[in-house]
Amino acid sequence: MLKLRFHGRGGQGAKVASRITGTAAFLEGCHVQDFPLYGAERRGAPISAFTRISRGTIMERGVIPNPDITIVMDQTLLSDPQAEPLAGLKKNGVVFINTPDSPAQVKDEYNIDAQVVTLDITNIGLDMLGSPIISTLAGAVASRIVGIGEESLKNAVEKELSKIITDQKLIAKNIEAAIYCFRTLELLKIKTIQTTQRQDSVIRMPFEPAKISTPSINTTASSLLKRTGNWRLFKPFWDHDVCTKCMICVTRCPEGCISLNEQGFPVADYEHCKGCMICAEECPKKGIKAVRESGSDSVEVMGT
Please report how close the Cβ of residue 220 comes to another protein at its closest, in angstroms.
5
Which CB sits closer to another protein, 37 or 250? 37
Q: In what order do the strands lie in the sheet containing 288-294?
A: 234-238, 288-294, 297-302
User: Where does this chain bind another protein (CB under 8 A)?
Assistant: 39-40, 205, 207-211, 213-218, 220, 222
CB of 37 to another protein, least distance (A): 9
Shortest Å distance, C-beta 84 to another protein: 13
Longest Cα–Cα distance of the chain, Å, equals 67
Task: Give me the helix-helix angle, 168-184 and 150-164, nearest 10°.
Answer: 150
Whichever of 187 and 221 has its CB closer to another protein, that residue is 221
Cβ neighbours of 161 (radius 10 Å): 23
* H-helix segments, 28-167: 103-110, 121-128, 135-146, 150-164
Q: Work out how close the CB of 211 gets to another protein at its nearest, in angstroms, rounded to a whole number.
A: 5
φ, ψ of residue 95 in degrees (nearest 5) = -125, 125
Question: Which of 208/262 has CB closer to another protein?
Answer: 208
Backbone φ, ψ for residue 162 (5° rounding): -60, -20
DSSP 229: G
Long-range contacts, 217-224 (Cβ 8 Å, 24+):
223/272
d(CA 237, CA 242): 12
Pairing status of strand 94-98 against strand 115-119: parallel
| Short-list 107, 119, 173, CA closest to 145 | 119
Q: How far is the CB of 38 from another protein (least distance, A)?
A: 9
φ and ψ at residue 236, rounded to 5 degrees: -75, 135
In terms of CB distance, is 62 or 254 closer to another protein?
Answer: 62
For another protein, the closer CB: 187 or 212: 212
DSSP letter assigned to residue 73: S
The least distance separating another protein from the CB of residue 19, rounded to whole angstroms, comes to 22
Minimum CB distance to another protein smaller for 165 or for 224: 224
For the bound state, the minimum distance from the C-beta of residue 14 to another protein, rounded and expressed in Å, comes to 16
Pick between residue 40 and residue 225 the one whose CB is nearest to another protein. 40
